[in-house]
Amino acid sequence: MLKAYKYRMYPTKQQEEMFSKHFGCVRVIYNWALEQKIKTYEQDGKAISRFTLNKTIPTLYEDRKWLKEVNSQSLRGATLNLDNAFTKFFREKKGFPKFKSKKNPVQSFSVPQHYEVDFDGNKVKLPKIGWIKTKLHRCFEGYLKTATISKTPSGKYFISILVGNEKNLPDKQDFDENSTVGIDVGIKDFAIMSNGEKIDNPKHLNNSIKCLKVLQKRLSRKQKGSKNREKARQEISKLHEKIANQRNDFQHKLTSRLISENQAIALETLNVSGMLKNHKLAQSISDVSWSSFVTKLEYKAEWYGKSILRIGQFEPSSKICNVCGYHNKNITLADRKWQCPDCGETHDRDVNAAVNIKKFALNKQNLVGI
């Protein structure tokens, strides 16, 4: 089983310079490798492998001697990242790989091997850089795999260490109707459970939007290239980082609770990218971050042997009475409550949807009939 552990790093000025060199050199190799792949395909109609590219990297040292100043394994890690980008392009249709820019908000490089972690001394040793002060706030057991060093737009440095162990993922636990919860996500309420519980939407971005607008106005008034403009940009980056941290903290706490309290969780598949085309709701949908919430549920379910059940995005969960099954086609998005004309039951739109999501998911598992 593989797990990643992320820690804050506190490099010295000299170490920050070495980080910058690694970021730049890895970016150069990535762009060079992407260019070689494009040219080879255009000329020969064939793809060039990363192993062939790795053998060619030493020939670049003649014209670019500064490449020798960084870890050679990190340079070869750039071709692996490029291969992964092409894999996503062909398999998941994630978009053709793009050339990297030094203006990208997040810069990173990988260290596949030959690094050390000292929990007692709170430091990490990286090739060509040395021991770096690191806040190792939690320990791990297992063998070290690839480490990734990154710099955030706010100027902070982090290391993400991938750790492997001999443990296997636990077997999926049995579940039934009583140990399953249906969840309908929303904007007014972040999540609505089939048991009637509603989780308020904290609206982290909306709470900070006024302050963000003020900071962006200040940035627009600063002269380009000046130190004051860089300071203003840093302030905006710090606020965005704070919002992201608040959102992640909220989602981690909620997903951990849901996974610990239930054996299975039923969810509705959502076309988030399509919903973002609605400009009136785009900002609220981005702020609520449903995709991130579902991702956390999925990997935590794998860790603890729980099940995630999915229903299709076109299932009419909001329009069907969960008591008698009547399909009310006249409901609009503005109708938050409605009464079933067949059985007379009054429904809260979101709670009714959560109950139906649970029913539809369990019906596909042949556990209940509707």
Task: Parse the chain into domains and list their residue ranges.
Answer: 2-164, 180-202+245-364
Residue 187 scores a pLDDT above 70:
yes
Instruction: Give the pLDDT of residue 44.
Output: 84
CB-based contact 276:285 (threshold 8 Å): yes
d(CA 49, CA 33): 10
Instruction: Give the pLDDT of residue 261.
Output: 92
At 216 the three-state DSSP class reads helix
Average pLDDT, the chain: 90
Residue 365 scores a pLDDT above 70:
no
Q: What residues are paired with 286 via a beta bridge?
A: none
- Written as six digits, the tokens of 77 are 């890690």
Q: What is the mean pLDDT of residues 165-180?
A: 88
Residue among 140, 138, 110, 143 nearest 126 (CA): 110
- pTM summary value: 0.86
Residue 368 scores a pLDDT above 60:
no
pLDDT of 106-158, one tens digit each? 899 999 999 999 999 999 999 999 999 999 999 999 999 999 999 999 999 99
Q: What is the mean pLDDT of residues 294-322?
A: 88
pLDDT band at 342 (very low <50, low <70, confident <90, very high): confident
CA 283, 284, 288 angle in degrees (round to 5)?
120
Q: What residues are paired with 7 via a beta bridge?
A: 159
Most confident of 143-157, 305-319, 329-343: 143-157
Instruction: Give the pLDDT of residue 367.
Output: 64
DSSP-derived letter for residue 69 is G
DSSP E strand boundaries for the chain: 2-10, 107-111, 116-118, 123-126, 130-135, 143-151, 157-164, 180-185, 189-193, 198-200, 264-268, 307-311, 337-339, 346-348
d(CA 281, CA 363): 32
User: Catalytic residue positions?
Assistant: 184, 268, 350
Instruction: Give the pLDDT of residue 370.
Output: 42
**Which region among 28-32, 242-246, 262-266, 345-349 has the lowest average model confidence (pLDDT)?**
345-349
At 330 the three-state DSSP class reads coil
**Which region among 61-70, 212-221, 342-351 has the lowest average model confidence (pLDDT)?**
342-351
Q: What is the β-pairing status of strands 107-111 and 143-151? A: antiparallel
The share of the chain scoring above pLDDT 70, in percent, equals 98
Is the model more confident about 123 or about 342? 123
- Quickly count: other Cβ atoms within 10 Å of residue 60's Cβ: 14
Residue 86 scores a pLDDT above 70:
yes
Residue 369 scores a pLDDT above 80:
no
Residue 22 scores a pLDDT above 90:
yes
SS3 content of the chain, % helix, strand, coil (to 5): 45, 20, 35
What topology is assigned to 180-202+245-364 in CATH? Nucleotidyltransferase; domain 5 (3.30.420)
d(CA 358, CA 41): 49
Q: What is the β-pairing status of strands 264-268 and 307-311? A: parallel
Q: What is the β-pairing status of strands 180-185 and 264-268? A: parallel
Residue 269 scores a pLDDT above 90:
no
The residue with tokens 């070869």 is: 76
Residue among 116, 144, 31, 22 nearest 74 (CA): 22
Helix (H) or strand (E) holding 295, with range, is: helix 290-304
- Quickly count: other Cβ atoms within 10 Å of residue 363's Cβ: 13
- Quickly count: other Cβ atoms within 10 Å of residue 322's Cβ: 22
Q: What is the mean pLDDT of residues 9-37?
A: 95
**Burial degree of 236 (CB within 10 A; 0-12, 13-18, 19+):** middle
